[in-house]
Copies of this chain bind each other. A is one copy, B any other.
Amino acid sequence: MTQIYDRVALIGLGLIASSMSHAMRRAGLAGEIVGYAKSSETRQTAREIGLCDVVYDTAAEAVEGADLVVLCVPVGAMDAVAAEIGPVLMAGATVSDVGSVKRAVVEAVAPHIPEGVHFIPAHPLAGTEHSGPRSGFAELFENRYCIIVPPEGADRTAVDRLAALWRGMGALIEEMDAEHHDLVLAVTSHTPHLIAYTMVGVADDLSRVTDSEVIKFSAAGFRDFTRIAASDPVMWRDVFLNNKEATLEILGRFTEELFALQRAIRQGDGDHLHAYFTRTRSIRRGIIEAGQDTDAPNFGRASVKKQ
């Protein structure tokens, strides 16, 4: 594949950045990949495993001469890191990010971007429950969507170039505005994560059922929730603090529906329950047909083999 950027600077070296590095290298998309992480331990690990060509001790050094800078830090850290790198960004460079919310990131980062630098926010909808520089792998973005959120008046060539990079890493591209992105993600990601965290918390708290029982009997459904409830706590704290409005709206709808089902249970309204449970099957089918999940039983978990 053709090289798309000469020097890519990854700011933050967690799951997404490390996967980007593997994916860019595999496809030869970047001349050079450099990086920076706030924690010296993370920088040390990244150096040990050769994650980047160079790992710098400051973000400012890392972005020097980079024609693409990707902010891969928790949403709450975007403001400070943008303030630090703003003055040293190369003219003509593109600054992007991988944050899970977009309106707050635009508000935090845009003011620090100098004239002549393109700011093109993006969000790859991919991840696992693992975190840190060792958790990345080149296939993470394959057949997953990357949502690009170009600001009004964004340079088309710069947007297309960023899209080409993500396509080169295996992603499918969609464009939308920041507000719609935040609503879509509140439904498909943020509220599900909050609910999963809550359910796991409830199970952990219930004194009449021991943790050991919860663990042993988790295959009855509960374990599906624990995967996303094991995701990076800092990242998720920042998501909820920065997508407050949309998350609270979806949560409101969620509790409304849950109360309706709760009432149906209390009143013994089997028809209501049956109709509801039937309707939700078609969404699963759609997801499988769209290649966004596997049809193998139990997600094809290692221990479950179909004859």
A279 within 8 A of B: yes
Complex: how many Å from CA A135 to CA B227?
25
A7 beta carbon closer than 8 Å to chain B: no
A240 partner, pick from B138, B241, B265, beta carbons under 8 A: B265
Contacting pair A208 B194 (CB below 8 A): no
Q: How distant is the Cα of A201 from the Cα of B275 in the complex, in angstroms?
A: 11
The 6 sampled A-B contact pairs (Cβ below 8 Å) are: A145-B216, A187-B214, A202-B254, A234-B274, A291-B303, A298-B299
Q: Contacts A214-B187, A241-B268 hold; do A300 and B297 have CB atoms under 8 A apart?
A: no
Known A-B contacts A125-B217, A145-B219, A297-B130; the reply to A226 vs B257 at CB < 8 A is no
Beta-carbon contacts under 8 Å, A212-254 to B: 212-231, 233-234, 236-238, 240-241, 244, 247-248, 250-251, 253-254
The docked-state distance in angstroms from the alpha carbon of A191 to that of B298 is 18
Decide: B240 and A273 in contact? CB cutoff 8 A: yes
- Can you tell how many copies of this chain the complex includes? 2
Check B300 against A145 for contact (C-beta < 8 Å). no
Chief secondary structure at chain A's binding surface: helix
Provide the A185-209 mask, 1 if CB < 8 A to any CB of B, else 0: 1011111111111111111111011
CB atoms of A292 and B188 under 8 A apart: no
Interface residue from B196, B262, B285 paired with A248 (Cβ < 8 Å): B262
Are B284 and A294 in contact (CB-based, < 8 A)? no
**Distance in angstroms between the alpha carbons of A177 and B79 in the assembled complex:** 56
Q: Determine the chain B residues whose CB is within 8 A of the CB of A140 once the complex forms.
A: 304
Give Cα A240 to B144, complex, Å.
Answer: 35
Q: Which of B214, B297, B302, B305 has a CB less than 8 Å from the CB of A296?
A: B302
Contact B201–A276 (Cβ < 8 Å): yes
Please tell me which one of the listed residues B192, B200, B270, B279 contacts residue A222 in the complex, with CB atoms under 8 A apart: B192
Binding site for B on A (CB under 8 A): 22, 76, 100, 125-130, 135, 137-140, 142-145, 147, 172, 174, 180, 183-185, 187-206, 208-209, 211-231, 233-234, 236-238, 240-241, 244, 247-248, 250-251, 253-255, 257-259, 261-262, 264-266, 268, 270, 273-274, 276-281, 283-287, 290-294, 296-307
CB pair A241 B215 closer than 8 Å:
no
| Given A277-B236, A300-B301; A283-B217 close (CB under 8 Å) | no
Known: A221-B192, A305-B137. A250 touches B211 (CB 8 A): no
Residues B297 and A128 in contact, CB atoms below 8 Å apart = yes
B230 touches A224 (CB 8 A): no
Smallest distance from the beta carbon of A204 to chain B beta carbons, Å? 6
Docked CA distance A218–B292 (Å)? 7
Whether the Cβ atoms of B236 and A273 lie closer than 8 Å is: yes
Contacts of A224 in B (CB 8 A): 192, 196, 224-225, 227-228
Q: Is the CB of B206 within 8 A of A137?
A: no
